[in-house]
A and B are shown apart, each in its own frame.
Chain A
Amino acid sequence: MIFSLILGFILLIIGLYGMLTQKNLIKIVIGFSIVDTGTHIIIVSIGYLRGKTAPIIDNAVDLANAAKQVVDPIPSALVLTAIVIGLAVTALMLSFIIKLYHKNRSLSISDYQELKW
């Protein structure tokens, strides 16, 4: 669990670093995706309990002691929602980039600073 948690944070930081340093809009979005992924890994790893099985009631789980045998199902449920939302945001970002590229023929974030102060 702890490794995946650390991995999640590392991804998060790598993603943030990418977002802060890359000038290319698409690379920024990729950075954002990495951040997202890192977050998702963190969420899942928080729900993970060593030596337990997936929270699905099947043969592997004793119905009576289900709660003790499975990992916490809630983070897994949450992460699904988060992934969907992340996907939507990423898609929207990319579509904005396309629109921006059509307007300005540039993918550098430095070319979109006219609004300031």
Chain B
Amino acid sequence: MSITTKALYVIISVIVATIYGLALNGVVRKIYARVHGRFGPPVWQPFIDIIKTHGNNVAISHGIMYYLGPVFRLAGGLGTYLFIPVIFGSVVFSNFSLAGDLLLVMYFIFFGQLGMALGAGEGGHPYSPIGIARGLAQMTTFEVPFALSVIALAIQYNTLNITTIVAAQQGSILNWTLFTNPLAVVAAMISLLGMNMHSPFSIVLAPQEIPIGPPIEMNSSFLATLQTNRGLFGAAKLVLFMNLYFGGAAHANIFVALLIMILKTFIIYMFSVFVGAAYPRFRPEQSMRFFLKWPTLIGIASILFVAYF
């Protein structure tokens, strides 16, 4: 494959994912609004927001690291997405999954978070590091059940290659990890709640006490970059979960496959949304403890289940 074709495929893949991710965010805002009894913004509100913030004339910058923060963040989103094969068997949507396996994806998630944290830090606003400190601390805890669940997967499929994992789930719905290893899926889905930072784990952004958290100092194009990433990165995470636990998206027809992808990820996301809409927020130490208790035990159980039974 020539480098230009690959570049083209990558661009297509990224654009699709970004648009989907943003639209998904719009839908979710709508759902939340309805749950709260409001009318809510239109579904395309995220697009409007991006265009609007990007159109600002002046961008306030606190320094080079600050400037690079959003770049890191978006690069992290892009990279995470690009190291995941989106559609099973599709050349266009295989991205750069040849560069590494599941471990690479898991660690590349940190790339954007770390860069963003540093950029926000240079802003000098105390709320940014407060949000980051909470976010990181919470991250260390929800990573535990997720990691355990991934280990269970690695034992089950004897590989860390995402494509191979998806391949192993083909054939019947009963081949999905959801059914072959439900404990691992439960653990991972609980940690997904933390990853998506919806309530009850939304202490990182906590609109009431530290308005919007780490990005507090971000403005104009910087904010637009972050908003773009929110769409893309959200989509990437969901795709990863779909691949690992819900059989991935596979169909001979690429558009059908995309539809499957959209359907599955939407449902996965709705899990977070429903929980978020229904539950109040945890305090930081509550949320951290939460992940280290039952989800972790479930994760360990999933490993023991796979390894020894």
Direct A–B contact in the complex, CB atoms closer than 8 angstroms: no
Chain B residues in the interface with A (C-beta under 8 A): none
Chain A residues in the interface with B (C-beta under 8 A): none
